Amino acid sequence: MPTQTHPYETVIGLELHVQLGTKSKIFAPDSAAFGANPNEHTSIVTLAHPGTLPRLNRKALEYAIRLGLALGCEINLHSAFDRKNYFYADLPKGYQITQDKHPICIGGSLQLDADTRIRIHHIHLEEDAGKSIHDQDPTRSLIDLNRAGVPLLEIVTEPDLRSAAQVGQFMEKIRQLVRWLGISDGNMEEGSLRSDVNVSVRKSGEKAYGQRAEVKNINSMRFARKAVEFESERQIELLEKGDKVEQETRGFDPQQGITFSLREKEYAHDYRYFPDPDLPPVVLTQVQVQAIADQMPPLPAQLESRFLSAFGLPASDAELLTQERPVAMYTLELLEASGDRATALAKPIANLLIQKIKPWCEEHGLEVSENPVTTTQWLQFLELIAGGKVSASMANQRLFSALMENPEAHPEELAVRLNIVQQSDQNVLDELIAQVMADFPDKVAAFRNGKKGLLGFFMGEIMKRSKGKADPKQAADLLEVKLEAKA
């Protein structure tokens, strides 16, 4: 890039398409599942046979409301569907049914981090188009209509994003949220999350936005970040040369990591939007919306701040444990079950989950809550460590897997069986220390003459003779007292 005479700021607005995980399509009864053989999910409605009529999928509407509530949107009690007219082979009706004038959700926002809140303009429901497959033969395109009519939510943000990194963060958070809410698998490889990225640049400090370019149909977070980086460099270069940025629609070439012009503004589509006469407006009552709100799970951000403030977990743990709903809910279950020991056990609970239970469950193809050990037992397990009965390393190395293999056992009995209970019994320790001191009188004398470093030697002897079961902290304390006490 040539040297810039001014610093520039990149401004980005996103149009994010989320494929909803309903069983059937948004206006038709055929399956909305991914991965069938081409054109298996093609009812006469999807194929736009004359005389067929669309009928709104109640679940798709409910999912839209869930996301709207989670993002603090206003739920529009009077929304409606419009026809967006254009001709393309993967669009059998010759129009897409979408919400133009009266979308289901208005406003709202997503908090990216403590300082950054991205405002949402609106969220609307629409149907997906089919898929055109361009194979080796340049004289033809193949059409798969399985995807035609799959429900989509389009999240349109205000131009509040300022960097490629924020775009990645935003998409990541939305993916986490739609999975959390159970409304989409958020699977980018299968096209469940696709974005149009609107990019402009302006000189830092300027109030007015620059002219934007829209980069269409990006199907990965990495590509979305790359498209923003490329576009902002391209536009800055243009401005630095004294040229203008054209308002245009661009495509993204993943191989080369560049964007290219698809159509300029004067060739922009006129979609001739009008209300779809086949679909009545969607009229909701506050009571219906409230019923959906009442069934919402606690949100990741709410749980994260609760883990932080109510249980005193470190921020990194709180974030990590609220990435996926099953993990977060199980964390909450353990924390709540620990009652007034919650703050003391919070960090050990987090460690146990992150380092042991979660990897174990992943390996066994289970959700964390499906591990065979009960919450009560996990708390007993942690109390064994907290009380110094079993060392943390012994618990993690041996007791953990033993408990997973004998999920009906009491952790303490298991520790006894494994012979890993630490000797914190003072009589036993006194005895051991006396033995060691008697066996090494010259070292005791040397210690008393100032060779304090010998403490390590004595500790080593004690650990060896107790076969690693002496509670190291207690043994060291007792040992020091005995050594210091001049005979």
Binding residues vs ligand ADP (CB under 6 A): 11-15, 156-159, 198-200, 209-210, 212
CB of 392 vs ligand ADP, minimal distance in Å? 50
Least Å distance, CB 199 to ligand ADP, is 6
10 or 423, CB closer to ligand ADP? Answer: 10
| Cβ–Cβ under 8 Å, residues 123 and 71 | yes
Can you tell me the distance from the alpha carbon of 217 to that of 152, in angstroms, rounded to the nearest whole number? 14
Distance of CA 66 to the CA centre of its chain: 17
Minimum distance of ligand ADP from residue 333's CB (angstroms): 39
For residue 211, the minimal CB distance to ligand ADP (Å) is: 7
Q: Which residue is nearest to ligand ADP (CB)?
A: 13
DSSP symbol at 3: P
Q: What is the DSSP string of 159-226?
A: S-B-SHHHHHHHHHHHHHHHHHTTS----GGGTSEEEEEEEEEEETT--SPPP-EEEEEE-SHHHHHH
What is the C-alpha to C-alpha distance for residues 170 and 176, in angstroms, rounded to an integer?
10
CB of 168 to ligand ADP, least distance (A): 16
Nearer to ligand ADP, 29 or 159 (CB): 159
Structure tokens at 158: 């205000």
Closer by beta carbon to ligand ADP, 199 or else 432: 199
State how far the Cα of 188 lies from the Cα of 366, in Å rounded to an integer.
Answer: 23
Angle among Cα 161, 173, 331 to the nearest 5 degrees reads 150
Write out the H or E segment, with its range, that includes residue 429.
helix 426-439
CB of 14 to ligand ADP, least distance (A): 6
The pair phi, psi for residue 123, each rounded to 5°, is -130, 130
Smaller CB distance to ligand ADP: residue 216 or 389? Answer: 216
Residue number with CB closer to ligand ADP (248 or 276): 248
Helix residue ranges per DSSP H, 12-79: 58-70
**Nearest CB to ligand ADP, comparing residues 162 and 306:** 162
Which of 11/236 has CB closer to ligand ADP?
11
Q: Would you tell me how many other CB atoms lie within 10 Å of the CB of residue 405?
A: 10
Give least dist CB 160 to ligand ADP, A.
Answer: 7
Between 205 and 339, CB nearer to ligand ADP: 205
Q: What angle do CA 293, 295, 300 make, to 5 degrees?
A: 80
Judged by beta carbon, residue 179 or residue 212, the one nearer ligand ADP is: 212
3-class SS of residue 479: helix
Q: What are phi and psi of 424, to 5 degrees?
A: -115, 5
The two three-digit tokens of residue 180, written as one number? 């959390």
Report helix, strand or coil for 32. coil
**Backbone φ and ψ of 71, nearest 5°:** -100, 10
Minimum distance from residue 215 beta carbon to ligand ADP (Å): 11
Q: Which is nearer to ligand ADP, 11 or 299 (CB)?
A: 11
C-beta of 257: minimal distance to ligand ADP in Å? 20
Residue with tokens 């997503």: 110
Q: Are 43 and 208 in contact (CB under 8 A)?
A: no
Shortest Å, Cβ 148 to ligand ADP: 23
Of 19, 17, 44, give the one whose Cα is nearest residue 147.
19
Nearer to ligand ADP by Cβ, of 249 and 422: the residue is 249
- Determine whether 409 is exposed, middle or buried from the number of CB atoms within 10 Å of its CB (0-12, 13-18, 19+): middle
User: Phi and psi at residue 40, in whole multiples of 5°?
Assistant: -85, -30
- In the bound state with ligand ADP, the residue whose beta carbon lies nearer, of 140 and 269, is 269
Smallest gap from Cβ 284 to ligand ADP, in A, equals 24
Residue 27 Cβ vs ligand ADP, minimum distance, rounded to whole Å: 23
Tokens of residue 192, six digits:
């469940």
